[in-house]
Structure 1
Amino acid sequence: MNLLRYSILSQLESAKVIAVIRGGSAKEAIELSRAAIEGGIRAIELTYTTPQVEKVFDALAQEDVLLGAGSVLDTETARHAILAGAKFIVSPSYMKEISPLCNRYSIPYLPGCTTLREMVKSLEGGSDIIKLFPANNIDPSFIKSINGPLPNVRVMPTGGINLNNMSDWLTAGAVAVGIGSDLNKAYASGGFAAAVELSRKYMEKVR
């Protein structure tokens, strides 16, 4: 495996918690990202549903955090994200056209999958970690079921992850978890300080 790709994957697995940032504006996304970083989160997925998301990449470029791009639906967006500084690319479902582009630049591609068929296609496309999405109505034991026929599948559940069930997912074999709605709710109700505190709680639970 390419050393750059291996390094990025290792950082994702070490981070354990990936903050999925969906801001109503670039300013909000920057503040929410900085709250997550201050709380100890070391990997952030900046979604392309955020207006002017390139400004968020620029603002966070010097932060000690692994930046990735989410809600990537096509190769044009994937390339834009990579040029903006994204070190991993995430899609809500498997987009076969994105895999070769990411492989070309040694950037991990994490497509959203819920079925074995999608997971097999993702593996064939070169994905090392699969985003189990949405994970809201899936039991953590699903990972063991997946790893029966597909023992080399590594999973990052996203959607419905919270402080109460995060440990269940990690114990069940998830390499990391993606959190988003929790952070947005904390920020909406208590601002920057509340988002920092929630991020700290997630990282304390990981430790």
Structure 2
Amino acid sequence: MSTAKHEALHVLTENGVIAVIRKVPNDKILQVAESLIAGGVNALELTLDTEDAFHIIQQLNARFGDRVIVGAGTVLDDMSAELAIQSGAEFVVSPILKESVISQTLLHGKISIPGVMTPSEMVKAVEYGADIVKVFPASVNGPEFIKHINGPLPSIPIIPTGGINLDNAKDYIEAGAVSVGAGGQLLDKEAIANEDYEKIKRLAKQYVDVVKKARKDNG
């Protein structure tokens, strides 16, 4: 693994919160990102179902690339992975397990995070070369699933995404997750609509603090 990728992995998991930016109005994404960063989040995932997603990834990198790591989410095929990486994505997240997406990501020395739901998929993802696996949707099985998986498969880094909130983020970290992917509960739609960016900042800080405390309590 290259030094650059090792450092990127460290940043990705350092604060334990990946902000999943989905269905945020394009004209508000940069300000939302600024608020998330101000609250302590240092990993931003822009989903590719966002209009003009590749251009926005470029914008996020140009403005915040020296402060955060920017990645692409909802990547369903290798061409999308290629375009996202060309736009500056340092990590590629999928809701599915697809070998060609992993291969394309690794070809460019970037971080691969495919979506999985079963132990067999997790092992297969690692065999394909994935750096981390995304358990999605995490809310289906909850933190206990992560805890039980961590027993026989302790070497596989897991990021649960889907249904993560301030009430359960601590449980996922204590169960063994290396980070959590937070979307709707973190990027409060009403706050964004009202341009209440201070609330987004406060929420971001709360998530980061919850993860920090969980890690401390977990030893």
Q: Does 1:120 align with 2:123?
A: yes
For residue 190 of structure 1, report the CA deviation from its aligned partner: 6.0
Q: Match of 2:216?
A: none
Equivalent residues of 1:24, 1:51 under 8 A apart: no
- Deviation per CA, 1:70-122, whole angstroms, max 9, x where unpaired? 00011111011111111000000111111111111111110111111211210
Q: Tell me the amino acid that sits aligned with residue 4 of structure 1.
A: A
2:147 to 144, 147, 152: 144
1:106 counterpart residue number = 109
1:133 is matched with 136
TM score, norm. by length of structure 2: 0.88
| C-alpha distance 27-55 of structure 1, shift in aligned 2 (>3 A) | farther
> Does structure 2 retain, via aligned residues, the 8 Å contact 1:156–1:174?
yes
Q: Is residue 15 of structure 1 aligned with residue 15 of structure 2? A: yes
Cα deviation code 1:139-158 (max 9, x no counterpart):
21212321333232110001
1:205 aligns with 2:210: yes
Let me know the Cα RMSD of the aligned residues.
1.6
Aligned equivalents of 2:38 and 2:124: distance in 1? 37
Contact 2:99/2:128, CA 8 A, preserved across alignment: yes
Report deviation, 1:180.
0.4
Q: Distance in 2 between matches of 1:188 and 1:169?
A: 29
Deviation of the 1:17 alpha carbon: 0.3
1:189, distance to aligned residue in structure 2 (A): 5.9
> CA–CA distance in 2 between the matches of 1:55 and 1:104?
22
Deviation, structure 1 residue 23: 3.0
TM-score between both structures, scaled by the size of structure 1: 0.93
Tell me how many residue pairs correspond in the alignment.
Answer: 207
Letter in 2 for 1:23: K
Identical counterparts, % of pairs: 39
Following superposition, the deviation at residue 24 of structure 1 comes to 4.4
Moved over 4 A (4+): none
| Amino acid aligned to 1:130 | V
- Give the one of 149, 168, 173 matched to 1:170: 173
Tell me which residue corresponds to 1:48: 48
2:109 counterpart letter in structure 1: S
2: CA distance, partners of 1:195 / 1:144: 30
The DSSP-based 3-state class of the residue aligned with 2:181 is: strand
Tell me the distance in 2 between the aligned counterparts of 1:32 and 1:79.
26
